[in-house]
């Protein structure tokens, strides 16, 4: 979703938004869309996109791989460059989107700023927290009359309503960033 700047500035700026995952994507979708609209009104070109298998993208999350998700970041950035004719680029990443973005190859596009909203720095801790929340949700008597236990699809891991392959979960768990690797500005 390309949000072109409403007016031209001396330096054309392009911003790529990298969503969070699963429930975080759903909870922040409207806010990120409104942010993109407001930034476009302020003269910034904004590109929002969905990782393969999420939102309006083709497929489903059971086919997700780190490679195709980082590839979608590269493609979205190339589209932003082509559509905006920007000469400066920034990225806004949300939660685990920060981890995914850290592995993307941008092929000659220099990002001058990376803004992180509540960045996830440790993939293992992130997955463990989601698994714990998922388990607690299934046992919540306010949500379900009888606790939902025992169901497990051996080919996929369900995390708060989204199914991922064990391979993708393992790929996410391998990702780590040090706080010093983030732009401190």
- Range in 48-52, 58-62, 144-148 with the lowest mean pLDDT: 144-148
Q: Three-class SS of residue 175?
A: coil
* Gap between the Cα atoms of 65 and 167, Å rounded: 8
Q: What is the pLDDT of residues 80-114, one digit of tens each?
A: 999 998 999 999 999 999 999 999 988 888 999 99
The helix-helix angle for 166-174 and 123-139 (nearest 10°) equals: 130
Contact 20, 33 (CB under 8 A): no
């Amino acid at each position: 979703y390309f949000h072109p700047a409403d007016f031209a500035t001396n330096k054309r700026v392009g911003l790529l938004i990298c969503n969070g995952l699963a429930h975080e994507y759903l909870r922040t979708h409207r806010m990120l869309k409104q942010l993109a609209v407001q930034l476009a009104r302020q003269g910034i070109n904004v590109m929002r996109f969905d990782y393969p298998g999420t939102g309006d993208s083709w497929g489903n999350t059971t086919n997700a791989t780190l490679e195709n998700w980082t590839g979608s970041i590269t493609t979205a950035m190339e589209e932003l460059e082509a559509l905006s004719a920007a000469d400066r680029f920034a990225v806004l990443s949300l939660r685990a989107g920060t981890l995914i973005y850290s592995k993307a190859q941008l092929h000659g596009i220099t990002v001058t700023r990376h803004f992180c909203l509540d960045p996830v720095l440790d993939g293992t801790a992130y997955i463990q927290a989601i698994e714990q929340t998922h388990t607690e949700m299934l046992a919540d008597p306010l949500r379900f009359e009888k606790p939902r236990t025992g169901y497990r699809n051996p080919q996929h891991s369900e995390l708060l309503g989204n199914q991922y392959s064990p391979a993708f979960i393992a790929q996410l768990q391998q990702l780590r960033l040090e706080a010093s690797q983030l732009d401190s500005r």
